Amino acid sequence: MSRIGERPVAVPQNVKVNLTKDSVEIEGPKGKLQFPIYARIQVHLEDAKVKVTRVGNTKHERSLHGLTRATIANMIQGVSAGFSKELEMIGVGYRAQLSGNKLMLQLGFSHPVEYIVPEGLTLEIPKPTQIIIKGIDKQKVGQSAANIRAFLPPEPYKGKGIRYVGEQVRRKAGKAMAK
């Protein structure tokens, strides 16, 4: 029995849920999202709550049951409140600059690193060493943050690199001098 899949998802007043045979469309003040539904998973709307059920009990159907419910919950939160991820750059001379839909990163390489911002996301740079990614699709926001972090992940000796705000970097001791 899926603990996550059995829970109903509450739908706020300002969010509209449109159920079709093979997809769910959710529209809110921040935008509109769509998600295809597997044939053996059923989605019902009852009393401003979305309920997800499954037809069979195979391992694949059980895994899709919880996934579908969690995705619908994330979509409802995304179109009503949105998602954001914050990155910080630690290192001498590291900085970010936004020009149009391109993020230009100076990371100590001989050339600037360019990142094209995916459609549906907005980037903010309050400080030259801080990047905030905002959007309504949780997967897109998280994947973009991971892609930007992958340009220069934090290294374990000095902690330099791009990291999530609040991320703990495990530090290693350097070489010890022999006497």
> Do the beta carbons of residue 135 and residue 101 sit within 8 Å?
no
- Tell me what the pLDDT averaged over the chain comes to: 92
The whole-angstrom separation of Cα 44 and Cα 23 is 12
Quick one: pLDDT at residue 4?
83
**H/E segment holding residue 44:** strand 41-46
> Where do the structural domains in the chain lie, given as residue ranges?
3-80, 83-164
Q: What is the pLDDT of residues 101-116, one digit of tens each?
A: 999 999 999 999 999 9
CATH entry, 3-80, from 3.90.930.12, 3.30.1330.40, 3.30.1180.10, 1.10.599.10: 3.90.930.12
Q: Which CATH architecture group holds 83-164?
A: Alpha-Beta Complex (3.90)
CB within 8 Å of 160: residues ≥ 6 apart: 90, 91, 94, 152, 154
Q: What is the pLDDT of residues 7-17, one digit of tens each?
A: 999 999 999 99
Quick one: pLDDT at residue 2?
64
DSSP SS3 for 118: coil
Same fold, 3-80 and 83-164: yes
Q: How confident is the model at residue 179 (pLDDT cuts 50, 70, 90)?
A: low
